[in-house]
């Protein structure tokens, strides 16, 4: 998929995330933690071996497609950061839940 064809978070796949990461000129250890994912898990997503959860897709879309930049010095920016933090926390929680399930816990 061409990056210009990304219309929503539903279009974010491992292949698309890889292309967005490369376009941003970021290594995995900077890109994936910015959306609440460990580098090793992000690598699996890029290889198509693990799906990207909805909260993570939404964060990738917001940051790397929509280019949303948050400014905490304004009330509106602070509210955006709060929403982003909630999405990131949900992404991290989703990753921990998957890990527990895969271990059989």
pLDDT tens track for 2-59: 788 888 889 999 999 999 999 999 999 999 998 889 999 999 999 999 999 998 998 8
- pTM, two decimals, is 0.70
Tell me which DSSP letter residue 35 carries: G
What's the rounded Cα separation, in Å, for the pair 51 and 53?
Answer: 6
pLDDT tens track for 65-90: 988 776 667 787 778 778 877 877 77
Domains parsed from the chain with CATH numbers: 3-97 (1.10.260)
Neighbours of 25 (CB within 10 A): 8
Element (H, E) at 90: helix 75-103
């Amino acid at each position: 998929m061409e990056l210009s064809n990304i219309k929503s978070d539903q279009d974010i796949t491992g292949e698309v995330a890889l292309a967005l990461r490369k376009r941003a000129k970021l290594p995995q250890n900077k890109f994936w933690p910015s959306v609440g994912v460990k580098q090793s898990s992000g690598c699996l997503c890029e290889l198509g071996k693990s799906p990207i959860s909805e909260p993570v897709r939404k964060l990738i879309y917001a940051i790397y497609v929509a280019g949303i930049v948050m400014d905490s010095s304004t009330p509106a920016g602070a509210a955006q950061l709060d929403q982003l933090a909630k999405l990131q926390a949900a992404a991290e929680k989703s990753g921990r839940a998957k890990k527990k399930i895969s271990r059989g816990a």
